[in-house]
Structure 1
Amino acid sequence: MSMRKIRPVRRIFEICLSVVVLGLFSGVAFLNFYRINFESLEGASRTLRWYFMVLATAIVISLAAKAVFRSFPIARIFLVAAVISFMAFSYDEIKMLVSHDEIKTLVGDDNFLKFSVGCWAVATLLIGVLVGIFSRQAVVLPTMALVGIIYVVPAAMSLVQARAHPVTVNDPKALALTARRTPNVYWIVLDGYPRQDVLQEFFNFDNEPFVQSLKGLDFTVYDHALASFPETIFSISSTVSLGFLVSGTGSSLKMPPSAELYRAVRGQNVVVNTMRSMGYRYIHFENGYDNLTQCPMEGAICIKGNVQSDGGVIQFDEFNLAVLSKTPLMDLIAAFANRSADQSPFMKGAVHELTNKLSSVPEHGEPFFLYAHVLAPHPPIRFRRDCSVRVVTPDLVDWNSKDRSAFLDQLGCVNDEAIALLKTVVQRDPQAIIVVQSDHGTAFRGQFKKPFDAWDQLDLKERFGALNALRMPAACSSYAQGTVDLVNTFSRVLSCISDRSLPDKVSRQFVVWHGDMTSVHEYRMDSE
């Protein structure tokens, strides 16, 4: 074959291979994201949409660059686009590399986000320039293809293996109970709301006005209530399962697979199935952000809060934010946002979002069981004391000790809105059963930076001391007596409905290791 014929064939091969490289490098972040989260996601469609959108954008920009830099080979442009696409979703790793206390002190907390974005921009520009320069070498293209394969293949094999051995999840059986009375049931979870004595001891905050307001609405407030687990997915699963879910003993304690826990949190659990068997409709309030507490695909009446209604501000849910948080976009918005703005592009998760939807709940028929998981007062600290909005990055993990004062301001906002909500419920539905509780307490002592089996008693008290309050019809007042831990909440509720006393579980506390999300350490808390 003559050289004239070889060159076009080679050029076509290089272009095709460079597109493959672009596809590989653009897909690494999404493959890893889906591999880690596939048990909590309803299929791969949203992940694939994101991937193809990023890939298409990279190709279009590459073609535009070719139109500007006509002498620069398109195959080399695709290689530069490949590393930029990869770096675009590597911001989180670069931010972690520079997230040292010494660096934060040097640049200042107010400037740290801009500093992180600057570091990422410099690194991305440098790598892009280097690839652009060295891509003229013939060895670079096959080398990058090999690197892309090395990145993708292990993750793909791990995902295939996991999908080939799916977790078998059984539908929890309903308890054999008969309804003797059918009050509507409202279960309102205020995420991360601490117990009154915890607020006093760890924050020097007097929450007596809020507690007295609850009592004034005929709530029984449990001064010694404890969560069984320090994280939402485990705690809520425990509450709706009327038990602790752990298997084994001693050092071999294990949690069920996360797929089972996600089903439990989203309505496939003992409590919901029992309520349905007694004629209740299950209504699931989706706060519009949190992927964990999104509406189940079937079997529930879904009411959505935090939904964009005025077309003015884009509302991101947790899935989109989880993807975009791997890029610098979220930090750029937070760093340069108008601090006086009364809207946030991120989630809100406020109590009033439930209040605004309350009138639509009875439209679906009675009796009903409403589960509403409200993100506040859990960080990020996005509300001031007057409930105006603070624009912050949507980080649900960071309990920064510097935010303690701001957390109390947000708590004050939650208190006001919660009392307004409860007054409305009591006025409209005076015979209802109303549960107001948290799923866990706060973690400003840095508990999750410690080994899961090395928490001290103060760590435990702050994180496990949770709000729990219960309002029963007068005929069920006896079922509200004593101490009620979160795990025993629905034993009391079902006792009222069935007029049959169900036994409480003895309090137990567990922390799950994040390494495998199944290994468990059990603690013995000091008696209070």
Structure 2
Amino acid sequence: MVRRVTAFHPFLFAAVYVLYLAAENPGGYEVGDLLPVTATVLAGVGLVYLLASLAFRQPNDTLLPALVTLLAVVFCFGLPQLTQSFRGGPRNPASVAIAVLGIVAGGLAVRWLARRPGRLQSASTLLTLTGTLLVVRFAADIVADQVRSRRIVAESDLVRELAQPIPGPPSAAPPLRDVYLLVLDEYANATVLRERFGYDNRPFEDSLRALGFHIPTTVRSNYFHTILSLPSLLNAAHLHRVGDELPEGVTDPALVNRLLERSRVASYLKARGYRYVFFPSMWWNSTRWAPLADSVVQVWPGFKPGQAAFRTEFRRVVQEGSALRYLTRRGPWDADHVRRTLGAFKELSSVNDPVFAFAHVLSPHSPYVFDRECGTPSSSAAADRKEGYIGQLECLNSMVLDVATRLLLDSEVPPVIILQGDHGTSTLRYSSAPSAELVPADAARERFGAFGAYYLPDSGEVAFGDTVTVVNVLGNVLRHYFGADLPREPDERYLSLEGSAYEFHRDVDTSAVAPPRRLRRSS
């Protein structure tokens, strides 16, 4: 019995890997996804253990198969961490040499312990105890994170404030126009594309203008990160106060996710007879759910193992950190989901009720799964930041233009169509700055430079003018078309780095050399 218990250590260490990733990435997983991911990993470990047991053909000896299985677990989850340290990854000769040495050393260790049953028993006992303690430790961290997240949301003044209904007429004045919001992740504006990529996006923009779209001269995001830009857009409100409400060092997005899920813009339109149609993103947690939605369009019907393997952010993180990254191809699934989402989005005009539709398309953001002709890019193009981005952008342009054309042709009442980038690109690596207040002006300008194009019938472009920031886009729509009594937000921009997204510094002028002024936390 003792030998069987002490043979359990490979399963424990595999579980440690999964739980560690969850504990270190609060908000980067769904609680309901943690169990199936862990179970799948443990099933894989069980298969390796079974094969090892058959190879040794010693029914009463569980310790040697367990040790071999543990080495397989270490190789599976340790190899990617090793290869990332070398240019070229697993193809680098140094990576290959170290991997071979590791396998040889592991084999020698197994042989040495196989001849010393007492030491094998002691090592197995120590490994089992260590694995058990680590599982308990990371499981406790996860529970503590969940409790803290719920408390932060429950105590948030900002959540309570934005939960209040936006004042306005009790009903929408005719004609009832559909409102279509299509967010294109990391789609940069024309200035950024020209300056950073040497790319001229005028053909696409001119095609949109020919359809009647208004493209302001200046469009900017107010935040560097999607996790902030989207809830500010969907609530028509600034979110920099989040930095005052969260404890120092907290990176959990639970608070801003709550604001995104409970969008007050969506609530305003629903209260006036609009049907909220939501298109979940393929895997990004923050736009995978919308509790307020009347309809959730799942563009992948049924269940397919290949789709399910990449369906959540956490599953991708687990695979990316293991040897599975070399055995699986997610690109075709990513491309298929974008095609299906845009294909379903352009059919929205067939819905009888007035519609507010929201889709967050994870493109032209990496991974780069389209070339300029919407085929599969070469491996070199997909790995090149500029070539991959522009190829994907050109493909996306053609698909988005098709969506806009179809919606306009099929709509009896001219709709409001919002094509919005959440922020610009980051080729200048803004997040490598020592602090947010020291982000170079050109890097900030690149990141804030978001794309925006708006179809605004009945002179709606007057509400937008020639300069717009993301936080005011939907507020402009509500004020102009629905009479909302909603004050316009300041066009202020807030800088923050990856890993400290809620440590804000207010930008004074992204074209100036002087560093931005630092915000003081409230006491």
| TM-score range for the pair, normalised by the shorter chain length | 0.7 to 0.9
Letter in 2 for 1:479: A
Shift of 1:466: 0.7
- For residue 258 of structure 2, the aligned residue among 247, 252, 263 is 263
Aligned residues: 490
Q: Distance in 1 between matches of 2:462 and 2:179?
A: 17
Shift of 1:475: 5.1
Counterpart in 1 of 2:421? 438
Letter in 2 for 1:424: R
* Structure 2 counterpart SS, 1:437: strand
Shift of 1:424: 0.7
Q: Distance in 2 between matches of 1:307 and 1:383?
A: 23
Q: Distance in 2 between matches of 1:461 and 1:500?
A: 31
Counterpart in 1 of 2:477? 493
Q: Distance in 1 between matches of 2:300 and 2:228?
A: 25
Shift of 1:330: 2.2
Q: Distance in 2 between matches of 1:202 and 1:301?
A: 39
* Aligned: 1:272 with 2:266: yes
Alignment of 1:126-165 (within 5 A): 126=104, 128-135=106-113, 136=117, 137=119, 138-165=121-148
CA contact (8 A) 1:382 1:391 kept: no
Counterpart in 2 of 1:78? 66
CA contact (8 A) 2:280 2:298 kept: yes
Distance 1:478 1:190, change over 3 A: same
- For residue 89 of structure 1, the aligned residue among 52, 66, 77 is 77
Q: Distance in 2 between matches of 1:97 and 1:527?
A: 36
- For residue 379 of structure 1, the aligned residue among 366, 387, 404 is 366
* Structure 2 counterpart SS, 1:522: strand
Q: Distance in 2 between matches of 1:355 and 1:516?
A: 33
Counterpart in 1 of 2:278? 284
Distance 1:458 1:84, change over 3 A: same
Counterpart in 2 of 1:470? 454
* Aligned: 1:180 with 2:158: no
5+ residue gaps, structure 1, are 1-11, 99-103, 335-342
Q: Identity over the aligned pairs, expressed in percent?
A: 22
Distance 1:139 1:127, change over 3 A: same
Letter in 1 for 2:475: S
Distance 1:416 1:514, change over 3 A: closer
Shift of 1:523: 2.4
Shift of 1:403: 2.4
* Structure 2 counterpart SS, 1:292: helix
Distance 1:53 1:411, change over 3 A: closer
* Structure 2 counterpart SS, 1:470: strand
Shift of 1:40: 4.9
Counterpart in 1 of 2:48? 61
Distance 1:443 1:414, change over 3 A: same
- For residue 396 of structure 2, the aligned residue among 414, 436, 439 is 414
* Aligned: 1:367 with 2:354: yes
Letter in 2 for 1:437: Q
CA contact (8 A) 1:313 1:345 kept: no
Distance 1:223 1:344, change over 3 A: same
Alignment of 1:109-508 (within 5 A): 109=88, 118=96, 121-122=99-100, 125-126=103-104, 128-135=106-113, 136=117, 137=119, 138-165=121-148, 166-167=150-151, 168-169=153-154, 170=159, 172-178=163-169, 179-181=172-174, 182-247=176-241, 258-265=253-260, 267-296=261-290, 299-305=293-299, 316-319=310-313, 320-333=315-328, 344-348=331-335, 352-358=339-345, 360-362=347-349, 365-390=352-377, 402-429=384-411, 431-453=414-436, 454-474=438-458, 476-500=460-484, 502-508=486-492
Q: Distance in 2 between matches of 1:47 and 1:66?
A: 28
Q: Give a deviation string over 1:91-139, Cα, whole Å, max 9, x none.
A: 44223332xxxxx2xxxx5x75576974684366246425523544143
Letter in 2 for 1:174: P
5+ residue gaps, structure 2, are 513-523
Q: Distance in 2 between matches of 1:325 and 1:119?
A: 22
CA contact (8 A) 2:251 2:499 kept: no
Q: Give a deviation string over 1:140-160, Cα, whole Å, max 9, x none.
A: 122212432453343233223
CA contact (8 A) 1:219 1:470 kept: yes
Shift of 1:15: 1.8
Distance 1:239 1:123, change over 3 A: farther
CA contact (8 A) 2:267 2:292 kept: no
Q: Distance in 1 between matches of 2:305 and 2:500?
A: 41
Letter in 2 for 1:327: S
Shift of 1:35: 2.1
Q: Distance in 2 between matches of 1:34 and 1:366?
A: 41
Shift of 1:284: 0.8
Alignment of 1:19-58 (within 5 A): 19=8, 21-37=9-25, 39-44=27-32, 46-58=33-45
Shift of 1:519: 2.1
Shift of 1:392: 6.0
Q: Distance in 1 between matches of 2:484 and 2:34?
A: 47
- For residue 523 of structure 1, the aligned residue among 488, 507, 513 is 507
Letter in 2 for 1:241: N
CA contact (8 A) 1:470 1:480 kept: no
Shift of 1:460: 0.8
Task: Calculate the TM-score normalised by the size of structure 1.
Answer: 0.82
Shift of 1:200: 1.5
Q: Distance in 1 between matches of 2:203 and 2:458?
A: 24
**Which moved further from structure 2: 123-132 or 86-95?**
123-132
* Structure 2 counterpart SS, 1:436: strand
* Aligned: 1:15 with 2:10: no
CA contact (8 A) 1:284 1:372 kept: yes
* Structure 2 counterpart SS, 1:229: coil
Distance 1:365 1:309, change over 3 A: farther
* Structure 1 counterpart SS, 2:334: coil
Q: Give a deviation string over 1:310-369, Cα, whole Å, max 9, x none.
A: 9998873243322211212223446xxxxxxxx944412775433421365355542111
CA contact (8 A) 1:25 1:83 kept: no
Letter in 1 for 2:358: Y
Q: Give a deviation string over 1:200-239, Cα, whole Å, max 9, x none.
A: 1222211111111111111111221110111211111111
Distance 1:117 1:13, change over 3 A: same
Distance 1:86 1:500, change over 3 A: same
